[in-house]
Amino acid sequence: MSLKTFLIGQPIDSVKEAHERLSKKMGLAVFSSDALSSVAYATEEMLLPLMLAGTAILHYSMPIAIAIMVLITLVAFSYMQTIRAYPSGGGAYTVSKENLGENFGLVAAAALMIDYVLTVIVSISAGVAAVTSAIPTLHTHTVLICLASLLLIVVVNLRGIRESSKIFAGPVYIFVGAIFLMVVFGVAKYHTGAVPDATGYPHETLANAVPWLLLMRAFASGCTALTGIEAVANGVPAFKPPEAKNASVTLVWMAAILGLLFIGITYNAYVFGIVPKENETVLSQLASAIFGVGPIYYLIQFSTFLILILAANTSFADFPRLSSIMARDYYLPRQLASQGDKLVYSNGIILLGVFAALLIVTFQGNTHAMIPLYTVGVFLAFTLSQTGMVVHWLKNREPWWVLGMVFNGIGALATGVVFVVVGYTKFMHGAWLVVAAIPMLIYLMVKVNKHYKSIAEQLIPDDLKPLANYKHHSVIIPVGGVHSAVVNAIKYARAISDDVVAIYVCLDTRKASITKASWDKYGMGVPLIVLDSPYRSVIEPVVDYIEEVRNIHKDGVITVILPEFVPSRWWEHLLHNQTALLLKGILLFKKGVVSTSVPFQLR
């Protein structure tokens, strides 16, 4: 069994792709883990800006939470229209590209791709924060735990979407059950007077007007609860038939659970007077206030850790899928369009893992440092998607198009306002990095697209009539001595051309004399030309000689045959110089020159 087979399992036949589709329950685990997990930190992020005014305005947390819940409902219903109109998936990129134009499509794609990377690092770092809240001694190992968790998620996703859904379903449903239990018990305890010291936030009177900027920042931070709502619309083809119906039902389930848990956690934090602390999450404080530090508390903390770690799976489900669509549109490298052994887009999964690891190390796994970057791209993509849907309904006038247009119009207006608020309140807190990264990513995608278009144009034959053959075929064999691999190459060279010459770069006159003597015996009549190299370079004299031959036979072709012996073990390659590899790389850019390796396998 190879290491690859051990880690990701046996390959899956292409004809079995339909069997890898997800049911609604499994789809909820795969595509909703990001959105559902955000309730673990959304309330805390909403409270942090309010704390800048002390406890005087903490009681505004409930009105803000209600506003966010209304926004969740609007966005969810808007994306249901997207699923109905675009059952092939693609989400904001596809909708924006087809209805608003390619440039808007690229903006939506860039925003989403940045959001997916940030989702991974925020989810994992928040999950690790849940564990370090319960076990403070682990604080010093935060980055290492984050990277280990990331590696685990990458490997699980490489095993295939159905297998990863089986692994992730349990933690998702345990988390939902544990948080629901905490919310219900917290409400019951407060209203039955079982916790007499739960007095809620104090309603202090401010000397000045209500600091609206802090309220806006709190609303913008709390909107992290909406991240991940678009995931279902992006991954519709992953569901079992009827795909659109199953995806829509899953989206409704997700929005309902998300809204109830978020409002429940915020309400309990409000009535129990929970405020953010540096080394303990709000959720941890709330769980200990309701249940005490016992088995249920540790169940909540551990399930929170798992759901937050696995929330990154939403990005690993959607980032590779979006990348594959854009690769087919020639905006990203073509390798991202190919499925791997397990019928998942393996290259996209690995690429996302690499980007996430770099950012985890950069930000040292600090959730609060990364949150300000998080929601800008999300709401930009939301706004473009919903605006594109309004144009879609106006163009196509499908049944119930007026209702669809109203829903998407309200959704576009609401997410557009939130985007402005988030951008304004978080710009100097790190959101400017995302604002700067989006045009840079778009520039790279445009350059990739131009490259592919240029190649396509150049590969079209000017004339489909039979072309004239090369007038001459020169074969050159660079050798470093006389051995079995060289003799093998000579045999091959004599089989393809009558004009064969070997060249030897002289770095040591004594060794050159020995090589000449051996060549007379084993060279099979092929002339050996010795090239001087006063500066001990091997590559330069060889390239110069090839250029001389090209100048003599301008209408001909040159084949450079490289004799190579192949060690039986991979590590033995490290013990030999890679002159042939370097020479092949240089000859790739020489017009009219072909390089051919003739391997000689060693025992």
User: What topology does CATH give the domain 473-601?
Assistant: Rossmann fold (3.40.50)
DSSP string, 158-188: HT-HHHHHHHHHHHHHHHHHHHHHHHHHHHH
pLDDT of 300 over the 50 cut: yes
Higher per-residue pLDDT: 170 or 493: 493
Tell me what percent of the chain is helix, strand and coil, each rounded to the nearest 5: 70, 5, 20
Distance CA 62, CA 65 (A): 5
Q: Give me the sign of the Cα torsion angle 256, 261, 266, 268.
A: positive
- Predicted local confidence at residue 367, as pLDDT: 66
**Can you tell me the mean pLDDT for 132-161?**
83
pLDDT of 91 over the 80 cut: no
Q: What percent of the chain has pLDDT over 90?
A: 22
Is residue 99 within 8 Å of residue 412, measured between CB atoms?
A: no
Per the prediction, the chain carries an average pLDDT of 83
Higher per-residue pLDDT: 12 or 413: 413
State pTM to two decimals: 0.73
**Can you tell me the mean pLDDT for 280-299?**
88
Domain locations along the chain: 3-452, 473-601
**Can you tell me the mean pLDDT for 293-309?**
84
Question: Where is mean pLDDT largest: 85-89, 226-230, 586-590?
Answer: 586-590
pLDDT category of residue 207 using cuts at 50, 70 and 90: very low
**Can you tell me the mean pLDDT for 512-532?**
90
- Predicted local confidence at residue 181, as pLDDT: 92
**Can you tell me the mean pLDDT for 318-326?**
88
**Can you tell me the mean pLDDT for 294-302?**
87
Q: Give me the sign of the Cα torsion angle 302, 293, 43, 259.
A: positive
**Can you tell me the mean pLDDT for 364-385?**
76
Is residue 229 within 8 Å of residue 75, measured between CB atoms?
A: yes
Q: Which CATH class is domain 3-452?
A: mainly alpha
Which contiguous run of DSSP H or E holds residue 72?
helix 61-85
Residues near 316 by beta carbon (within 8 Å), at least 6 away in sequence:
120, 153, 154, 157, 164, 349, 352, 353
Q: Give me the sign of the Cα torsion angle 239, 245, 251, 257.
A: negative
pLDDT category of residue 557 using cuts at 50, 70 and 90: very high
- Predicted local confidence at residue 495, as pLDDT: 92
Q: Give me the sign of the Cα torsion angle 403, 405, 407, 410.
A: negative
Q: What percent of the chain has pLDDT over 70?
A: 89
pLDDT of 2 over the 60 cut: yes
- Predicted local confidence at residue 450, as pLDDT: 93
| 466 DSSP assignment | P
Distance CA 80, CA 33 (A): 18
Higher per-residue pLDDT: 203 or 80: 80
Is residue 484 within 8 Å of residue 520, measured between CB atoms?
A: no
**Tokens representing 553?**
């036979």
- Predicted local confidence at residue 351, as pLDDT: 93
Map tokens 């402005």 to a residue.
Answer: 420
DSSP string, 467-509: PPPPS-EEEEEEESS-SHHHHHHHHHHHHH-SEEEEEEEES-H
- Predicted local confidence at residue 5, as pLDDT: 65
- Predicted local confidence at residue 591, as pLDDT: 87
